[in-house]
């Protein structure tokens, strides 16, 4: 699943081509991603609007759209609304792909001829049209690079949690955007076993984990995300963050620190990679 670095990369790479452009046509090839509105009304509601801004919240992309120039069928349609997209397991947003691109779901055509296509082999991705994006993203925890995410804030959110720290890090109400592979990488960098009870972490461990989360995510953004499976950038190229992974998706390979084997276990139904020597329980 695309996590914070992948979604941030997508946002950064499509924004220059989209922001300030007017949506001229929307074609829905598959109704499954469209939530709480018919595909026909979804398309009609978007056409004529200008993309005023594009932002990321956790693993969600939020397109801020202007009021349209004609009557809109959705409630409050005469006002600014937002298009919220979650890519889920295998969704991707591609700029000017081939018209017959495999697994195409929705095509957005802009006034300058630019085409933005949503493709999704597994069909888990979702799109919402809302007046207030908080109805979709309001329960998310702080962003890892926000002022609200501090060592004390992390300690407070871990306090009293009996679940394994790996599972807690995947709770999007705790921290927005961190998913499976970056949780593995952060725990490795902090030398913390993924099955440790979150509440049992010491102050030095929490500080190490805090710094590791920010460092791991920053490095992944610099490398344009990780293409371990389905993720591709808007121009169709892969990201390269996975080339620097120490444990994630490296089961059976040598740990880059101690040369011992990286091990795969399951923590709360999530495949988890760690080094038993560097991350002692």
The pLDDT of residue 229 is 85
pLDDT in tens, 162-221: 999 999 999 999 999 999 999 999 999 999 999 999 999 999 999 999 999 999 999 999
Say what percent of the chain tops pLDDT 70: 96
The catalytically annotated residue of 2, 142, 144, 194 is 2
Rounded to two decimals, the pTM is 0.94
The pLDDT of residue 157 is 93
The pLDDT of residue 84 is 98
Say what percent of the chain tops pLDDT 90: 93
Q: Which residues of 215-251 are buried (b: 16+ CB within 10 A; e: fewer)?
A: ebbeebbebbbbbeebbbbbeeeebebbeebbbbbbe
Architecture in CATH for domain 151-274: Orthogonal Bundle (1.10)
pLDDT beyond 60 at 11: yes
> Residue 3 catalytic?
yes
Do 27 and 107 meet the contact criterion of CB atoms below 8 Å apart? yes
Residue 213 to residue 236: CA distance in whole angstroms: 27
pLDDT beyond 90 at 278: yes
The catalytically annotated residue of 11, 59, 105, 224 is 59
Do the two domains 4-137 and 151-274 of this chain adopt the same fold?
Answer: no
The pLDDT of residue 69 is 57
The pLDDT of residue 22 is 96
Sheet strands (E) in the chain = 23-28, 51-57, 60-65, 81-86, 92-95, 104-110, 115-119, 126-130, 263-267, 270-274
> Residue 2 catalytic?
yes
> Residue 270 catalytic?
yes
Domain edges within the chain: 4-137, 151-274
pLDDT beyond 70 at 31: yes
pLDDT beyond 90 at 144: yes
pLDDT in tens, 39-95: 999 999 999 999 999 999 999 999 999 987 555 555 454 568 999 999 999 999 999
> Residue 102 catalytic?
no
The pLDDT of residue 230 is 87
The pLDDT of residue 4 is 98
Architecture in CATH for domain 4-137: Alpha-Beta Barrel (3.20)
């Amino acid at each position: 699943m695309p996590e914070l670095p992948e979604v941030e990369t997508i946002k950064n790479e499509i924004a220059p081509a989209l922001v300030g452009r007017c949506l001229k046509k929307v074609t829905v090839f598959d109704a499954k991603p469209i939530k709480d509105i018919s595909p026909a009304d979804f398309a009609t509601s978007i056409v004529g609007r200008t993309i005023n801004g594009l932002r990321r919240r956790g693993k969600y992309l939020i397109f801020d759209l202007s009021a349209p120039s004609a009557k809109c069928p959705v409630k409050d349609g005469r006002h600014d609304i937002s298009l919220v997209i979650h890519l889920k397991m295998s969704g991707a947003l591609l700029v000017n792909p081939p018209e017959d691109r495999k697994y195409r779901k929705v095509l957005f055509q802009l006034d300058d001829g630019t085409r933005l296509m949503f493709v999704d082999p597994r069909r888990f991705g979702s799109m919402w049209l809302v007046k207030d994006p908080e109805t979709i993203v309001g329960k998310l925890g702080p962003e890892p690079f926000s002022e609200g995410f501090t060592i004390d804030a992390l300690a407070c959110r871990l306090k009293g949690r009996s679940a394994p720290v790996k599972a807690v890090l995947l709770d999007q109400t705790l921290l927005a955007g961190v998913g499976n592979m970056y949780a593995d990488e952060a725990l490795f960098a902090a030398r913390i076993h993924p099955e440790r009870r979150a509440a049992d972490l010491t102050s030095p461990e929490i500080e190490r984990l805090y710094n590791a989360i920010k460092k791991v995510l920053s490095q992944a953004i610099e490398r344009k995300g990780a293409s371990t499976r389905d993720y591709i950038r808007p121009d169709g190229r892969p990201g390269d963050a996975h080339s620097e992974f120490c444990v994630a998706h490296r089961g059976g390979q040598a740990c880059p620190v101690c040369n011992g084997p990286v091990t795969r276990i399951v923590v709360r139904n999530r495949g988890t990679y760690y080094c038993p020597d560097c991350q002692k329980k």
